[in-house]
Structure 1
Amino acid sequence: MSFLLNLSKLIDWINERVGRSVMWLVLIAVVISAGNALVRKLFNTSSNALLEIQWYLFAAIFLLAAGYTFLRNEHVRIDVITGRLSPKGQNVVDIIGILFFMLPMAAMIVWMSWPIVMLSLHSGEMSANPGGLIRWPVKILLPLGFALLILQAVSELIKRVAFITGQGPNPLEKQGAPSAEEELAAAIKQQSAGGAQ
């Protein structure tokens, strides 16, 4: 199990680095989007390449950060039922979800998207829009992003099994500072408590 936990740490490190790097793409996308809007308003002109690079950046943000989001346990969850289970029960539900839903789905997407990426790369596929960009860089994000998600799913599986067998902490416990949503909820609660007095 110690080898698997070290493997999990390595995967976490990879997705942490990728996720932190991808955060900068948000700023780049915003700057390009704002610049494109200004050019369109001020000079009554636009560029398909600038529009498409925004789409490429948004695709990169969502696909490459999926593993990072899973690492941070910030993905969408429906805790109506699992929230009532014990920590061990919650981890068992996650193991079932990872094994029977996430891993097969992500592996199928990687497997089915790879030929499309290779075809786009070998053909030199270009956008049909005048002045558009080449397509394979954005298409390769699909298998790459889902490969990172598969790696993180393996890491999360290892951590959950370690917790259930008593060899690791609960991976579902929130660690560190509260999230932005939790801070906002606390501020709203504090303001409404102050207004009620």
Structure 2
Amino acid sequence: MPRLIQCYVRYVDAFNRRVGRVIMYLIFVMIGVLLFSSIARTVFNSPLHWVVESSQFMMVAYFLLGGAYSMQMDSHVRMDLLYGCLSPRRQAALDVVTMLFLLVFLVALLMGGISSTQYALEYGERSYSAWAPPLAPIKIIMTFGILLMLLQSISTLFKDVAKACGKEMT
């Protein structure tokens, strides 16, 4: 593989590894918020309006920002009907084909995310709940997560092409 592609793969993998390892601790923040809500509701008889929505926002951030790291660690769920019977080179060739479909999907998703984020920023879009937080911050995070997933998919595509050609990319 050309040096530029190897550099791209190393940089994207390193960046997504750092983001993923930081974002994995967001689950503890989410648990803390839900525990605080539970204590406030049972002990002080004071339900908090912001808890459910903020937990949903944190889960979206956890899922989308951790998606690229999950892909990099090859921990996504894969339907293994015939895949396991194939040689590693054929598995990589099949991964190249499916990765192309994923790239088309992620590009469409990114375009929609950018459009939705622009709308939220331009018009000050807010949630329709009693708390009514602005939606622009979570939409920015979502769009950034989709971008990271797209970049990681391209990195994985390069690694799969190399593997399908009988070369390893480290």
RMSD across aligned positions (CA): 1.4
Q: Which has the higher contact order (CA 8 A, sep 6+)?
A: 2
Deviations 1:8-33 (A, max 9, x none): 01000011011011111111000001
1:166 Cα deviation from its structure 2 partner:
3.2
1:130 Cα deviation from its structure 2 partner:
2.1
- SS of 1:83's equivalent in the other structure is helix
Off by >6 Å, runs of 4+ in structure 1:
none
Deviations 1:25-71 (A, max 9, x none): 11100000111111011112122222211111000000111100000
1:47 maps to which residue? 48
Deviations 1:109-134 (A, max 9, x none): 11022111111112222222223321
1:104 maps to which residue? 104
- Give unmatched runs, 5+ long, in structure 2: none
Structure 1 or 2, whichever has the larger Rg, is 1
1:125 & 1:47 partners in 2: Cα distance?
A: 22
Deviations 1:157-195 (A, max 9, x none): 1111222233315x8xxxxxxxxxxxxxxxxxxxxxxxx
1:24 & 1:132 partners in 2: Cα distance?
A: 26
Q: TM-score, normalised by structure 1?
A: 0.81
1:112 & 1:133 partners in 2: Cα distance?
A: 21
1:90 partner letter: Q
Q: Are residue 25 (structure 1) and residue 32 (structure 2) matched?
A: no
1:143 Cα deviation from its structure 2 partner:
1.9
Q: TM-score, normalised by structure 2?
A: 0.93
1:160 maps to which residue? 160
